[in-house]
Structure 1
């Protein structure tokens, strides 16, 4: 991590305690909603890995776990917003309820494309949950069914969210002002 992007440059938006409380509340809601139903929790790698790990421990009903990876294509020849979805770690979800868990809802394009991809596997229904819902960026009609926090349009890191693969390990969510106040296009089409 370069010195100009050290942890001392961060402005904490959501503390570790606030995140823990929100994840426990969400786990209780999920446990109640899906009680008695076959549930698979599908985390979106890599940003949601910490969130989904904490959430699955807060869900008090039997459930299966799987993952998908959604990443923007890199390279000059690809248009911004192109998304690659890797389903190699997705278990059989046919006939099961799916809780799709992602780190952040920004434009909504990632969630929209993931739901479309998962529907091809024949789940009973797909419900989504995100840790963060970024205000003022939505470009599609789909919205998450659950969210823990609404945040302003800022570039955020921590609790799984990164900047150039740094900061994921932080137990809180913080604004990274060195990147610029408002979120940049480099965050992709989350």
Structure 2
């Protein structure tokens, strides 16, 4: 099921990623009937795209940035939320929310996002229920998502299929595609 371990890294292929999202969709379909999917950006972007197509649901996004400061790049810092949810969903769609992230690492992002969402002015009076979903839960995470197809027995760095783009420049991509 899980592709390769390299040191403390878990390398996920596109094929494995899509299969895991499909397993998540099946789990959600069997146990919950959400009225809107809310993705935590950036990690949830591809997940929410696929789930919204499978489950035929409206989507919304919240943007969160973790600021750690200089010398703390690998540590989670204070979470900063964008001012608004980005969505074309109607307020009434926010009745049964499924909040989605790519993984539950420490659990802090999901916990704080639920709290922020329940206090978000424009939709808070419409929210009756918030459930959570992610693809992977690390062993040391203190958060238990409602839906999660892969619960890891350790805490590897998860290398997702698009992550290599963070190391590339547009010039690298132009050169690779021979488009000078």
Name the SS for the 2:116 alignment partner.
Answer: helix
Aligned residue in 2 for 1:144? 145
RMSD (Å) for aligned C-alpha atoms: 3.2
Q: Which has the larger radius of gyration?
A: 2
Task: Please show how residues 59-78 of structure 1 align to structure 2 within 5 Å.
Answer: 59=55, 62-76=56-70
- Could you state the TM-score of these two structures normalised by the residue count of structure 1? 0.65
- Could you state the TM-score of these two structures normalised by the residue count of structure 2? 0.68
Whether the aligned pair in 2 keeps the contact of 1:106 and 1:133 (CA below 8 Å) is yes
Aligned residue in 2 for 1:29? 27
Task: Please show how residues 107-146 of structure 1 align to structure 2 within 5 Å.
Answer: 107-120=106-119, 121-122=124-125, 123-135=127-139, 137-138=140-141, 140=142, 142-146=143-147
Structure 2 unmatched ranges of 5 or more: 1-5, 169-180
Could you tell me how far apart the structure 2 residues matched to 1:158 and 1:75 are? Answer: 24
Task: Please show how residues 1-190 of structure 1 align to structure 2 within 5 Å.
Answer: 13-35=11-33, 39-59=35-55, 62-76=56-70, 81-86=77-82, 87-90=84-87, 93=91, 96-120=95-119, 121-122=124-125, 123-135=127-139, 137-138=140-141, 140=142, 142-151=143-152, 152-159=154-161, 162=163, 165-166=166-167
Worse overlay, 90-99 or 104-113: 90-99
Structure 1 unmatched ranges of 5 or more: 1-8, 168-190
Offset, 1:111: 0.6
